[in-house]
Amino acid sequence: MSLSRREALHQSGWILAGVLSAGSIASLVTGCGQPTTSSLGYWTPAALSPDQANLLAELAGTIIPKTDTAGAKDAKVHETIDDTLHLIVADDEKQRFLAGLEMVDAESQKQFGKKFIALSAGDREALVQSMADAAKQDTSDASDPFKMVYQMVLFTYCTSEVACKEVFKI
CA pair distance 84, 120, nearest whole angstrom: 29
pLDDT of residue 138: 77
Q: Which residues contact 125 (CB under 8 A, 6 or more apart)?
A: 62
Model confidence band, residue 56 (pLDDT cutoffs 50, 70, 90)? very high
**pLDDT 10s digits, 117-157:** 999 999 999 999 999 998 888 777 667 899 999 999 999 99
pLDDT for 65 equals 95
Q: Which residues pair with 41 in a beta bridge?
A: 38
Nearest Cα to 77, choosing from 67, 94, 62, 87?
Answer: 62
Asked whether the predicted pLDDT for residue 33 surpasses 60, the reply is no
Judged against a pLDDT cut of 70, whether residue 68 lies above it is answered with yes
Which residue from 76, 99, 89, 94 is spatially nearest to 153, judged by alpha carbons? Answer: 76
Chain center to CA of 39:
17
